[in-house]
C-alpha cells in the first residue's frame, strides 16, 4: 500500500464518482495527445489510457513512477519535477493537459501554462478552491487578482466541479475545484509596462488607484484616460490596464 509523501504535497484522488465526472468532462478522443501532470497512482490515467492516442506523464515520486510504468506500459512516464522540465522536448504535437497537482506549486504551474500556451489545446486541472476562484474571477469580484488577469489573457476559464476533501487520501484541509482552461485562438500577452502597473495596483489592492498608482499617474492623467481614479485594482478591467499602459508609454517619452 502506498503512503502519500507530505514533502510532495500528495493527496490521491480516490472517489470513483468524482473520477468518472472528471473523465467525462475531459472527454478524451482517439486523436488526443495528453500530458498528465502528477498522475500519482493513476486514478485518472486508468480512465484515459485506452481512449486517447498517447499519454505522456510527469511524476516526481519514483515509487509512483515504477507503479505507473508497470501498470500502464503504453504511457510514457518521466520521473521529473514539472517546474524544471524542458517543455520544448515534450511537445512534438499540441497536447491536452490533465493534472491533480500539489497545491503549493499552483501559481508557478499556471504561469508555466501561460508562458507555454502555444503548446496547449486545453488544460484540465485540480486546484485549491481559493486559487480556482481567483482564476475564474472577473473584474469587480472580490477574488479578482493579478493571477486572474494573467491566466485570462491566454485562456478561457471554466469551473467543472467542486470537490470535497473526503474524495482524497489522505484527506486535505482545504476544498478543491476542478477547472478547464481553453487556449484562446488569439491570446493577449501582458507587456512589461502593463505588468508593472498591474503589480503596483494589486500590491495595495485596498487602496484607490489614485493612491496605489500615484508613482505612475497624476489625477489629471486619470481624467485624460477616462478612468475613475476612485476604483481599486480588482475593479479595473484588462482593457483599462491596457489604456493605462499605452498612456504611460506616451507620457514617459514626453517627461
Backbone angles phi, psi at 33, to 5 degrees: -110, 125
User: Tell me, what's the pLDDT at 251?
Assistant: 82
CATH (one of 1.10.569.10, 3.40.50.150, 2.60.40.1730, 3.30.420.40) for 6-183:
3.40.50.150
Q: How far apart are CA 178 and CA 100, in angstroms?
A: 9
Encode pLDDT of 63-79 as tens digits. 999 999 999 999 999 99
Encode pLDDT of 146-204 as tens digits. 999 999 999 999 999 999 999 999 999 999 999 999 999 999 999 999 999 999 999 99
User: Tell me, what's the pLDDT at 174?
Assistant: 94
Superfamily of domain 192-253: rRNA adenine dimethylase, C-terminal domain (1.10.8.100)
Q: Assess whether pLDDT exceeds 70 at residue 83.
A: yes
pLDDT band at 9 (very low <50, low <70, confident <90, very high): confident
Encode pLDDT of 28-56 as tens digits. 999 999 999 999 999 999 999 999 999 99
Binding site members for S-adenosyl-L-methionine: 11, 13, 38, 59, 100
Which residues of the chain does CATH 1.10.8.100 include? 192-253
Q: Assess whether pLDDT exceeds 70 at residue 253.
A: no
- State pTM to two decimals: 0.90
Question: What is the average per-residue pLDDT within 200-217?
Answer: 95
Which residues of the chain does CATH 3.40.50.150 include? 6-183
Question: What is the average per-residue pLDDT within 12-30?
Answer: 96
User: Tell me, what's the pLDDT at 254?
Assistant: 52
Q: Assess whether pLDDT exceeds 70 at residue 243.
A: yes
Q: How many CA atoms lie within 13 A of 96 on its CB side?
A: 20
Bridge-partner residues for 174, per DSSP? Answer: none
Could you tell me which of 70, 5, 15 has the C-alpha nearest to residue 38? 5
CB 103 within 8 A of CB 174: yes
Q: Which residues contact 226 (CB under 8 A, 6 or more apart)?
A: 243
CB 158 within 8 A of CB 180: yes
Encode pLDDT of 91-133 as tens digits. 778 999 999 988 999 999 999 999 999 999 999 999 999 999 9
Binding site members: 11, 13, 38, 59, 100
Amino acid at each position: 500500500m502506498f503512503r502519500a509523501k507530505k514533502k510532495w504535497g500528495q493527496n490521491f484522488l480516490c472517489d470513483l464518482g468524482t473520477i468518472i465526472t472528471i473523465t467525462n468532462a475531459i472527454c478524451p478522443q482517439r486523436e488526443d495527445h495528453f500530458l498528465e501532470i502528477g498522475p500519482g497512482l493513476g486514478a485518472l490515467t486508468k480512465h484515459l489510457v485506452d481512449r486517447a492516442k498517447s499519454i505522456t506523464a510527469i511524476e516526481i515520486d519514483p515509487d509512483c513512477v515504477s507503479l505507473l510504468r508497470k501498470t500502464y506500459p503504453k504511457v510514457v512516464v518521466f520521473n521529473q519535477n514539472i517546474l524544471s522540465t524542458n517543455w520544448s522536448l515534450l511537445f512534438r504535437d499540441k497536447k491536452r493537459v490533465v493534472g491533480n497537482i500539489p497545491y503549493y506549486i499552483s501559481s508557478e504551474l499556471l504561469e508555466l501554462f501561460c508562458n507555454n500556451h502555444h503548446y496547449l489545446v486545453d488544460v484540465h486541472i485540480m486546484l485549491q478552491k481559493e486559487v480556482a476562484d481567483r482564476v475564474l474571477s472577473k473584474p469587480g469580484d472580490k477574488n479578482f487578482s493579478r493571477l486572474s488577469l494573467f491566466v485570462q489573457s491566454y485562456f478561457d476559464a471554466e469551473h467543472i466541479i467542486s470537490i470535497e476533501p473526503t474524495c482524497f487520501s489522505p484527506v486535505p484541509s482545504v476544498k478543491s475545484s476542478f477547472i478547464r482552461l481553453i487556449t484562446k485562438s488569439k491570446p493577449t500577452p501582458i507587456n512589461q509596462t502593463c505588468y508593472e502597473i498591474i503589480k503596483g495596483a494589486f500590491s495595495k489592492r485596498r487602496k484607490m488607484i489614485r493612491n496605489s498608482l500615484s508613482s505612475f499617474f497624476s489625477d489629471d492623467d486619470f481624467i485624460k484616460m477616462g478612468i475613475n481614479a476612485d476604483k481599486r485594482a480588482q475593479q479595473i478591467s484588462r482593457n483599462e490596464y491596457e489604456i493605462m499602459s499605452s498612456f504611460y508609454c506616451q507620457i514617459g517619452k514626453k517627461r
